Amino acid sequence: MGLVLQAHAAIFILGNLVASQPLAQSLKETIKITAVNFNGEQMQITWAAKDYFPDRTVTFFYRFGTALQNRAWKQCPNYILDQGYNSGCLFKTEGPTLTISFKDKNGSEELFNYTLKSDFFIKPNPPENVTFHWKGDTVTIECNKPKTPARCLELELQYKSKYDKEWQSRKSACCKVEEQGFDPEKCYSFRVRLERTSICNRIPYASEWAEVTVWRNGSLLDSCADDIKPLSDNVILLISVLAVLLVIFLLQIFVCKCQRFQKSVMPVIPDPKHIFSDLFNDHNGNFQVLGSCHYWSNGEGHCSLCLLQMKLGCLLTPTFHSPRNGLTKLTMQWAKPRWNV
């Protein structure tokens, strides 16, 4: 973005450039100068000092008015420096026609000069006194009319909800813009700025954005975080109770899993003294003996019960008899409860 002065060495020699032959040869390429007129109050002219005046300090002069007025030249009051070299100038805007001149360090030799219209490079100030008017899903934004003619300005509106990633834009003639389709339940951020139209500016400069404001259904908020409604006490209590019940349920499952795991790793070994206590208590000792087996310590023995009967019965506590002839007798009996019909 800037004013581009396209001129070759031959053109400078014939017209605006007054310089020595070596410098003219160094200016064969296009010279780019950026001009900005801040709201018609202050001018800023910048140039690429390292590209067009390498290792050389130049002085900047300017004057407003036409050549016929022949006003006196003024030296730059505020230079912009780039690595110690003059690369720009800030000065007060004093009229629509501006002539600039670059000279050597001493100001005695003019390198080149150029005339431009300062009104073609106006950058407006941000909009002032911005107001929002809500009606249903429609919002109307207005601002004060600046000193610049309204026909040369557009008012740009940008907005987005907290669910949008990119700004949505809308432009309208200064100084009012209207947009509709806003969800009254959503929170929106708004910002506006003024932009010069192409019919008035060679470069359509836009102002800086005005302060971002946050709205929801016609109410001004500090931020979209204020749009989040806190939970009621009843909801908080319900969530707490459900959380406690869930923890208790999970603990019960955990305990059951631990018991099953413990039994699979370390099975419960019954007490041999009370191995049939429950069986005797349930049937009051009313059993029918199905058979018995006798074994001697020398390996001899006999059983008076078939295998099927043994499976249907219950193994009673084995008994050992006192030694006889150096042998020990083991007796085991199977029995089943007597069922009362």
Q: Are residues 106 and 9 both part of a single domain?
A: yes
**Confidence (pLDDT) at 15:** 35
Q: Are residues 10 and 104 both part of a single domain?
A: yes
At which residue do the structure tokens 């690429």 appear? Answer: 48
Q: How confident is the model at residue 320 (pLDDT cuts 50, 70, 90)?
A: very low
Q: Are residues 146 and 99 both part of a single domain?
A: no
User: CA-CA distance, 211 to 161, in Å (whole number)?
Assistant: 16
Q: Are residues 106 and 188 both part of a single domain?
A: no
Q: How confident is the model at residue 34 (pLDDT cuts 50, 70, 90)?
A: very high
Q: Are residues 116 and 145 both part of a single domain?
A: no
SS3 for 36?
strand
221 within some domain? yes
pLDDT over 60 (residue 146)? yes
Q: Are residues 186 and 116 both part of a single domain?
A: no
CA-closest candidate to residue 150, choices 191, 117, 118, 196: 196
Of 60, 89, 122, the residue that ends a domain is 122
**Confidence (pLDDT) at 329:** 53
250 within some domain? no
Q: Are residues 56 and 109 both part of a single domain?
A: yes
Confidence (pTM): 0.57
- Could you give the number of structural domains in the chain? 3
210 within some domain? yes
pLDDT over 80 (residue 184)? yes
Section 161-184 average pLDDT: 91
Of 122, 154, 172, the residue that ends a domain is 122
pLDDT tens by residue, 246-267: 999 888 888 887 877 776 766 6
Q: Which of 33 and 1 is assigned the larger pLDDT? A: 33
Q: Are residues 116 and 14 both part of a single domain?
A: yes
CB atoms within 10 A of CB 33: 18
User: What is the span of the domain harbouring residue 165?
Assistant: 131-227
Q: How confident is the model at residue 3 (pLDDT cuts 50, 70, 90)?
A: very low
**Confidence (pLDDT) at 90:** 97
Q: Are residues 96 and 141 both part of a single domain?
A: no
pLDDT over 50 (residue 86)? yes
Q: Pick left, alpha or beta for residue 285 (phi over 0 → left; psi -120 to 50 → alpha; otherwise beta).
A: left
Q: Are residues 118 and 135 both part of a single domain?
A: no
Of 86, 103, 122, the residue that ends a domain is 122
15 within some domain? yes
185 within some domain? yes
Q: Are residues 186 and 218 both part of a single domain?
A: yes
**Confidence (pLDDT) at 45:** 96
pLDDT over 80 (residue 180)? yes
**Confidence (pLDDT) at 177:** 94
User: CA-CA distance, 124 to 126, in Å (whole number)?
Assistant: 7
Residue 144 belongs to a domain with what CATH number? 2.60.40.10
117 within some domain? yes
Q: Are residues 175 and 284 both part of a single domain?
A: no
Q: Which of 303 and 168 is assigned the larger pLDDT? A: 168
Q: Which of 193 and 218 is assigned the larger pLDDT? A: 193
Q: Which of 17-21, 123-127, 148-152 has the lowest mean pLDDT?
A: 17-21
Q: Pick left, alpha or beta for residue 198 (phi over 0 → left; psi -120 to 50 → alpha; otherwise beta).
A: alpha
268 within some domain? no
> What rounded mean pLDDT belongs to the chain?
76
Q: How confident is the model at residue 178 (pLDDT cuts 50, 70, 90)?
A: very high
Section 12-28 average pLDDT: 40
40 within some domain? yes
Section 281-302 average pLDDT: 52
Residue 283 CB contacts under 8 Å (≥ 6 apart), including other chains: 337, 338
